[in-house]
Structure 1
C-alpha cells in the first residue's frame, strides 16, 4: 500500500489538548450563563436533508452548502440526460440528498416545527455545535467552525432583548474581557430613515451601504449611495444621522426630532427605549448604562433577516471584527409551514473570542492542566505498590496518572513538566518500606514526605 502524506483538508484545523481545554473553558462559561437565564441546550444532526437547507440562504449561500453524495452508486438513479450536461446544478438533487448544516438557525427552525407539540412556548434554547461552509479559506475564516446560538421563540416581549444584553455582558465579563461594546439598533429605525428620505423602496441598498461605514469611510458610503439611486440632497440629510454623537439619551433625542414624521421610525425608537429601560432597571446597582452599551444607527447586519432590535458586540482591547451579534426576527418557522412565530436570538463568535483571550492572556492556568499528580514508576515493585494509591486518588476526585513504564527520574519529571502536572509522587524502595511517600512540587522544587491518607487529603 502506498504511503499517503498526512494533510488537513483546507479550511479545517486540529486542536491540541491545551487548545481544547481553553475552548472547553469558553463553552462551559457560556453554558453556565445561558442556563442561569433559563435557556436549555439542544443538539441537531451534523447533516440535514438537502431540501431543508436549500433556498434558505440565498443563491450565494446555497453555493456554500457542503453536499453529501448518496451512498453506493450515487449515479445509478440520476437521469441520463443530465449526465451529459455541462451544468451540474440540476444533477445535485439526484446524487446528493443530504448536506452538512450551514448554520444552527435553519436546523433550529426545523426542530421547533417538528417538536411544536412537545415544547413549551416561549421556548428558550441554546446550541453550541460545528457548522460547515464551502467558503474560500483565509485567515480567520474556516470551512468548519463552531457557532454558539441562544434563541427564544414564541414571545414578543422586549424583556428578551434586554436579557440578551445582560447575557452578553455577564458572559464576556466572566471570560475576563473588560472593555467591549454592545451595539444596539432597530430595523424600524432604519425603515424610518429611508421613509423620511422618500426612498422606502431603497431601504436595503441604503443600509448595506451605511453598514460599511467603518470599513470604507464616509466618502466610500457616499459613492455607494449615489450609485444606488440616492441624491446629494439625500446624503445631506443622512450624514447627521450617521454621525450621531453624545450619550444614548442624546442620540435618542436627536433621532426623535429627525424621525418625528415617521410612525415606523418612532416605533423603533420606542422599542430601543423599552429595552434600555429594562436593562437599566436590572443593573442600576451594578454599572452605568453607558458603560458598555451604544446606540449605533449604522448597524444593519442581516437586514433581510431581522425585523426589530439588532445586536453587535465588539471588543475594544484587540483589533478584531465583531465577536457576537443577533436580533429580532418574525416568522422564522414560516419556511417550514408554521406561520407567525416571532423570536429573537444572539450568537457568540467562539473562535474570535478565543483569539482575543489568547492575545490578552485571559485564560486561567487551570484550563491548561488536566492531570494534577503523576505517580513515578521506577520498577515493577514500585509500579504494583502505586496502583492502589492511584485509584484512591481518582476515587477522591484527583486527576492522577502513573508513568506507564519504568524509567529514569529525569525522563519522568520531564514528562510531568511537559504536561504542566504540578505534583509528582516519588515511590522508591525507601518510600515503600517506610510508608512515607515523597511529594515533589514541580513549580517550587520542594519535596515533603507524607503517608497515603495525608497525601490524598492534601491533593483533594
Structure 2
C-alpha cells in the first residue's frame, strides 16, 4: 500500500520562498519588540491537561489536541473515562503557558516583566483560509504593571511592529470587559448569565442585531431588556474619542469611575500617539474577545484585507494567581502571524542575492564575490549557471531571490548587481 505523503489535514509544508517571507516578517516584529524592552522566552508545546481545561480558554478549550498517557495498554476497558487516558495537551495559545512560566520563575524576573514569545500552537479547527490546525502566534505581555501604561505600550509597540512589516490601513478597536459587565448588570442580568451574553454579543459582526436579538431571546432575555442593551451599545458606536468619558458615564450609569478613568487615560495616550505617526483607533462597545480570562481593557487590530482581526489582546489580572497563589496585574497582545503573512505574501521579503557563475570562473572568485556581497548582512548564495539564462532567472525569482550578479570568466573589477524584477 502506498503511503500518503501529504501533510496532516489543516497543516502545511512551507516552501523556501514562503519561509523567507515569514522570516522577514518575524525579524521586523522582533526588532521592534526588542526596542520596547520585551525579552524573549520559550515555553513547552505540551501542558498539563488540567491547566488547559481550567475554564479560562473560552471556546478554544473545545479544540484542544489531547495526548494519551504513556504506558497505556493496547486496549482499555469500555467504561474508561477520557480523564483516565489523557494527562497532557498541546497548547492552544501562548498566554496560558506564560502564566505557569511566570508563577515558576517570577522571583528571578525583572518587575514589571516584559515578555516576548513566538512559536506554534495547535487547535482542532475546521481548516480554511487563514485558519490552520497548527499555526504560529507572536505575543508580547507586560506582567506586574497595574496602570494603563501596559495597555498603551502594548498598543504602541504592536502597531509599530505592523507598520514595520508594511501592513498599512489598520484600525485599533478598544473596549473593556468591565464596561460589558456593567451593561449586563444594568439590564438586571444575573452574573452567572454574563458569559452567555458576551458569547452572543461576540457574534454581532457575523449575524447582525437580528441574529443577536434572536439568540438572546432564546436564552430567555425579555425584549425590553434586549432593547435597552442594544440602545446602550449603538449609542456608543462611532463616538468622538475626546468625549468618551462623558458618553460612557451617560450611557452606563453603573460604570465605575475607575473604568471611565482608565479608558480616558488610554484614549488620551492614543490621541497623543496619533499626533506623532499614523494611527487609527476607535472605542468599540461591541468588542468582546472570546477568552474567559480577560478582566479589563481589551483590544483588537483589524485590516480591510482580513475577515478577522490581525492582532488582539487585553488585561488578565487574575489568571496568574492560579499558578502563584496571588493575583498579578497582567496585559498582553497577540499578533495573528499567519494572517499577516497571508496579507503580505509576495510583498514582504528580505533581500536575497544569487551569484550566478559560469563553469570556467575560478571558485575563489565566486566565493570572494559572495563574501563581498554578504558584508552588508544580506543572504547570498552562489549558484551554477545552467540552461537558458531567462528561464534560470525566473526560477531564482520563484525561489525567493530578489537580485543577482552574473560572474563570467572575463568579469573584472566591481560586480554589477541587478534586481530580478527589473530584467
After TM superposition, the score normalised by the length of structure 1 is 0.80
- SS, match of residue 220 in structure 1: helix
Which residue pairs with 1:276 in the alignment?
Answer: 267
Change in CA separation of 1:293 and 1:441 when aligned onto 2, cut-off 3 Å: closer
Give unpaired runs (5+ residues) of structure 1: 447-460
The alignment status of 1:12 with 2:3, answered yes or no, reads no
State the 4+ residue runs in structure 1 displaced beyond 6 angstroms. Answer: none
Partner Cα separation in structure 1 for residue 122 and residue 267 of structure 2 = 36
Task: Label 1:150 to 1:399 Cα distance change in 2 as closer, same or farther (>3 A).
Answer: closer
Q: In structure 1, how many angstroms separate the alpha carbons of the residues matched to 2:62 and 2:252?
A: 40
The answer to whether the 8 A contact 1:186-1:269 is kept is no
In the alignment, is residue 402 of structure 1 matched against residue 382 of structure 2? yes
Q: Which residue of 2 aligns with 1:254?
A: 247
For 1:119 and 1:388, the matched residues in 2 are separated by 45
Alignment partner, residue 33 of structure 2: 34
> How far off its partner does 1:188 sit?
1.6
Corresponding residue for 2:158? 168
Equivalent in the alignment of 2:301 = 313
Q: How does 1:34-73 map to 2 (within 5 A)?
A: 34-57=33-56, 61-69=60-68
Aligned counterparts of 1:44 and 1:313: Cα–Cα separation in 2: 25
Q: Distance in 2 between matches of 1:386 and 1:185?
A: 61
Give the secondary structure class of the aligned counterpart of 1:207. helix
Matched, 1:324 2:311: yes
Residues in 1 aligned to 2:422 and 2:364: alpha-carbon distance in whole angstroms? 24
Q: Alpha-carbon deviation of 1:238?
A: 1.8
Q: Which residue does the alignment assign to 1:423?
A: 404
Q: Could you say what secondary structure the match of 2:138 adopts?
A: strand
Aligned to 1:458: none
The change in CA–CA distance for 1:20 and 1:166 in structure 2 (over 3 A counts) is same
* Alignment match, 2:141: 151
1:232–1:69 CA distance, 2 compared to 1 (3 A): closer
- Which has the larger displacement, 149-158 or 435-444? 435-444
Structure 1 residue 38, shift from structure 2 partner: 1.7
User: 1:377 corresponds to which residue?
Assistant: 358
Secondary structure at the aligned position of 1:27 is classed as: helix
CA change 1:56–1:408 in 2 (3 A) is: same
Aligned partners of 1:390, 1:272: CA distance in 2, in Å? 57
| Deviation readout 1:184-240 (Å, 9 max, x if unpaired) | 111121122122212242322322222222111111111122222321221232222
Name the SS for the 2:314 alignment partner. strand
**Hey, what does 1:108 align to over in structure 2?**
98
Task: Work out the number of aligned pairs and report it.
Answer: 417
- Match in the other structure for 1:218: 209
RMSD: 3.0
- Structure with greater Cα Rg: 1
Alpha carbons of structure 1 residues 99 and 227: separation in structure 2 relative to 1, 3 Å: closer
Q: What CA distance in whole angstroms lies between the structure 2 residues aligned with 1:224 and 1:413? A: 58
User: 3-state DSSP class of the match of 1:330?
Assistant: coil
Q: 2:372 aligns with which of 393, 397, 411?
A: 393
2:402/2:420 contact within 8 Å kept: no
2:107 is paired with a residue whose SS is coil
Give SS of 1:150's match.
strand
CA displacement, residues 305-327 of structure 1 (integer Å, 9 cap, x when unaligned): 11110111111x32521111111
| TM-score normalized with structure 2 length | 0.87
The yes-or-no answer on 1:75 pairing with 2:75 is no
Q: Which structure is higher in RCO with an 8 Å CA cutoff and minimum separation 6?
A: 2
Task: Provide the residue aligned with 2:321 in structure 1.
Answer: 334
Query: Is 1:89 the counterpart of 2:77 in the alignment?
Result: no
Contact 1:187/1:300 (8 A) holds in 2: yes
